[in-house]
Chain A
Amino acid sequence: MRLEPIAAPSFGRRILPPALAIGATFVVAALLAMIAGGNPFAVFGLILKGAFGSKFAILETLNSATPLIFTGLAIAVAFRAKLWNIGAEAQLYAGAVITVVLGTGALSLPAPLMLALCAIAAMLAGALILLGPALLKTRLGVDEVVTTLLFNFIFLLFVSYLLEGPLKDPMGMGWPKSARLIPEARLPRIVEGLRLHWGFALALIAAIAVWVINTLTTLGYEMRAVGQNAEAAAFAGIPVTKVILKTALLSGGLAGLAGFSEVSGLKGSLTLDLSPGFGYTGIVVAMLALLHPLGVVVAALFVAAIFVGADSMSRAAGVPSYLADIMLASALLFMVLAILLTKFRVRRD
């Protein structure tokens, strides 16, 4: 048995990998559910019900998908230009920190201005966080995988310091937690009485915007060219370094928006558990979406549904909700394998 390259994969073959990866993931999850003493079909039924079974469940899933759409887009934008941004976690927290700095009473503005200011500041903060590693890459050839990954830990410790020090809520009973945002800095709910906040709509707009940038603008063309063949791009006169820096700004900005959306739309204040690894989960989301911005929305909904559904499933069936983490990890691994199938065909001799 061996692999033979395929010159022109058909559309069916291109959407095959996500389908295969998800299928294989469910097989693995079914086996684990059985080992844990559950009936796999009942377990999946409960996950599905937990994720989409009621209006409350659906809104919960959409809320959970929101930060994943932002970080997934951040990763997809960067990876497409072959900028390996593993630092969306730090960029997300940077966006959250700046939102809290501006939105807890330091400024007094009407709600629309306040929200716009916080969102833009969060984008800038996230962008600046990635600009450093990007400059190190373009100027000195430092590997951005290492710098962005390690910077996550540095920045989280910095946030920890802020929450114990300058940003600590004086009314917080000693918890490492920021003060609450003033009402003008809170993203309202899309429909009054329902828990879904405007961050989700913003995420959808961001996905469409990235898709438009990718397909219709010179910047998108340049980013794709640099990602696919930097040598040919440079020869043709595309300013490769500039394009990488612009990509970094866009990617970091999207991750920064995730932090803004979570603090302003959902939590109302900053704590160290704001993100349970959205920056890393964003990598899975982007890979499942094959780096397509609209695919990111679908992938983020899938991932969020598994997490939300698994939570409620574990309460009902007694199967640990770790199942969700395993499903996510196996989805990524199967995806990487399945991507091979778009490029190669297995031949049996």
Chain B
Amino acid sequence: MTQKEKAQVVLRLDGITKRFGPVTANEDVSFALHRGEVIALLGENGAGKTTLMNILFGQYTADEGSVELFGQPLPAGDPRAALDAGVGMVHQHFTLAGNLTVWENIVLGVDALSTASLKPAAAKARIRALSERFHLKVDPGAKVGRLTVGERQRVEILKALYRDAKILILDEPTAVLTPQEADALFATLREAIASGLSVIFISHKLHEVMAISDRVLVLRHGRLVAERATTDTHGEELAALMVGAEVSAPSIAPANPGAPLLTLRDVTTPGAGSAPGLARVSLDLRAGQITGLAGVSGNGQAALSDLISGLIAPASGSMELHGASPKGWSPRAAIANGVARIPEDRHKTGTIADFDLTENAILETYATRFSSRGWLDWSGARAFAQKLIAGYDIRCPGPDIRIRLLSGGNMQKLILGRVLEGAPDIILANQPVRGLDIGAVNYVHEQLAKARDRGAAVLLISEDLDEIMRLSDVIHVISEGRLSPEFARGTMRPEDLGRWMAGEGFEKGHTDAA
């Protein structure tokens, strides 16, 4: 590609400012995106990345400033205009209709579903071709409601590609892909870039930013604080720019494993939707050890998490906590048995958005710690909330703030505080850092490591292999409900785990036997 083509500006943001009441989400942000260029947008949660992209995509209207696409001013507040101009956005929170099929979701908004001119076969064929080319494996005929998180994200990416997007905005696109899938996506993205696509890439994963981007823009508190050519910078500098200070990942000391606190033997559970249940899973969670569970989203992690959370019981096989089978397995029984549960979805499962911080803090313990004869002890509850705010560095105006107004990181700190305050000895952490900024990620990891060091058994479920490999003392891989053997820290390379994640290595007929 010639220098001239490269220099063509496809998108220009000029002096964008956006306020929500007293909060300034974006302040005077200006940058230009060139043809065939990949810009990485870095920033902590709440730094204003998503707001900026929503303005660009027409979902919000900027208070000041303008957006220009291919030299034309973009009419504010009109997603249609952005779409028609060739902007495709893959949101972090998916925008799919669960009751429609994959191909229907993809053509929705491009063609009217009910017109005679719509040719399902042609649309499906095109989707198949795209999904093959971009290694985005998904069945066009499947109902989206039955897809896993990972598959839904693939549909989102396909949706943008199907519309011949000239500018692709990807908000945390690789969070649910295996390393191999992510590599494949990067490879094909590069291909598409070479043929003229421009990409804005939002990610917290610094190595991805380094691998794929040409330029990095760092947002902090809504302002553009730095702009670097990717070749001129390195991960540590970017991390420091993001949080405004040098950060260091927690160093994990060797484990000192003890007796198993939670034991599963040949446990089978029914599946939910298209997500498989567990197929004769045996697992030991040992005291003083972090057990990492790697795997592609939708391979039985949810079933294992629900089982340990107390939401479901084994259909067959046995479960023992502290060497005894629990009677009457339920969330309350789990909490009573010292199981701390950090759920996968902190918005839907972990907190009640319109409850205030105090009410959320006591969600698990209101009946046992903060009530007497049916009356709630609000002063005790508030004191507890204050203690969590101080002890877990929850940044908020006070215990009366509604939870929906907190950032993801602070919400997660509240959940951490809530479950760790009782010094639990079994900890289930399901995707504990998904969508968090580096500062919050390190904080959560430190807390988990600290709990391990005082003798807790930690199960870390994550689709982020880096996280698993950095934190875990032993690693299992889950695939289609089957559990791999236990691998000790340092004995496996990412590619080896990736093969297990893809379903290789498991005994033949293992699932059939279940």
Contact = CB atoms under 8 A, between A and B. Distances in A.
A232 B348 contact: yes
A143 interface: no
Interface stretch (A162-170, A214-222, A248-256, A293-301): A214-222
B366 A349 contact: no
Interface in A178-233: 216-221, 224-225, 228-229, 231-233
A108 B312 CA distance: 54
B380 to A, nearest CB: 13
B509 interface: no
A237 B341 CA distance: 11
B376 A236 contact: no
Interface string A327-349: 00000000000000000000101
B349 A347 contact: no
Nearest to B306: A235
B402 A232 contact: no
A216 B349 contact: no
Contacts of A347: 61, 77
Residue of A7, A234, A235, A236 with most partner-chain B CB within 10 A: A236
A235 B374 contact: no
A225 B332 contact: no
A225 B364 contact: no
Interface stretch (B190-198, B352-360, B462-470): B352-360
A228 B354 contact: yes
B439 interface: no
| Chain A interface category by residue count | 20 to 34
Contact of B375 (A217, A234, A349): A217
A231 B376 contact: no
A216 B375 CA distance: 6
Contacts of A231: 348-349
Contact of B364 (A2, A217, A236, A239): A236
Given A221-B359, A347-B61, A232 B77 contact: no
Interface in A2-25: 2, 4, 7-8
Contacts of A221: 359, 366, 376
A236 B355 CA distance: 14
Contact of B20 (A2, A7, A228): A7
B350 A349 contact: no
Contacts of B182: none
B355 A218 contact: no
Contacts of B332: 237, 239
Contacts of B352: 225, 228-229, 232-233
B274 interface: no
B31 to A, nearest CB: 23
Contacts of B142: none
A253 to B, nearest CB: 17
Given A218-B375, A235-B350, A8 B402 contact: yes
Given A2-B77, A221-B359, A229 B348 contact: yes
Interface in B305-332: 309-311, 330-332
A7 B374 contact: no
B32 interface: no
B378 interface: yes
B366 A217 contact: no
Given A216-B378, A225-B363, A347-B77, A8 B405 contact: yes
Given A219-B374, A347-B77, A225 B349 contact: no
A239 B310 CA distance: 13
B396 interface: no
B348 A237 contact: no
Nearest to B331: A237
Contacts of B255: none
B375 A8 contact: no
Contacts of B341: 235
B76 A228 contact: no
Contact of B311 (A4, A216, A224, A235): A235
B342 to A, nearest CB: 11
Contacts of B76: 349
A214 to B, nearest CB: 11
Residue of B21, B332, B363, B364 with most partner-chain A CB within 10 A: B363
A228 B343 contact: no
Contacts of B331: 234-237
B375 A229 contact: no
Contacts of B256: none
B29 interface: no
Contact of B367 (A4, A218, A228, A235): A218
Contacts of B335: 237
B60 interface: yes
B367 A232 contact: no
Interface in B73-111: 75-78
A349 B76 CA distance: 7
B128 interface: no
Residue of A217, A218, A234, A349 with most partner-chain B CB within 10 A: A218
A238 B376 CA distance: 14
Nearest to B310: A237
A235 B309 contact: yes
B403 to A, nearest CB: 10
B153 interface: no
Interface string B241-277: 0000000000000000000000000000000000000
B371 interface: yes
Residue of B310, B359, B376, B405 with most partner-chain A CB within 10 A: B376
Contacts of A2: 77
Nearest to A226: B352
Interface string B188-224: 0000000000000000000000000000000000000
Residue of A4, A232, A237 with most partner-chain B CB within 10 A: A237
B489 interface: no
A218 B349 contact: no
A184 B92 CA distance: 67
A232 B376 contact: no
Contact of A232 (B20, B21, B310, B349): B349
Given A235-B311, A235-B343, A217 B374 contact: yes
Interface of A: 2, 4, 7-8, 216-221, 224-225, 228-229, 231-239, 347, 349
18 contacts: A2-B77, A7-B405, A8-B402, A217-B376, A218-B366, A218-B376, A221-B359, A224-B355, A231-B349, A234-B311, A234-B331, A235-B331, A235-B343, A237-B331, A237-B332, A239-B332, A347-B77, A349-B78
Given A218-B367, A232-B349, 14 more contacts: A2-B77, A216-B376, A221-B366, A225-B352, A228-B352, A229-B351, A231-B348, A232-B348, A235-B341, A235-B350, A236-B363, A237-B364, A238-B363, A347-B61
Please give me the 7 A-B residue pairs with the lowest Cβ-Cβ distance, nearest first. A237-B331, A237-B332, A236-B363, A349-B77, A229-B352, A218-B371, A235-B349
Interface of B: 20-21, 60-61, 75-78, 309-311, 330-332, 334-335, 341, 343, 348-355, 359, 363-364, 366-367, 371, 374-376, 378, 402, 404-405
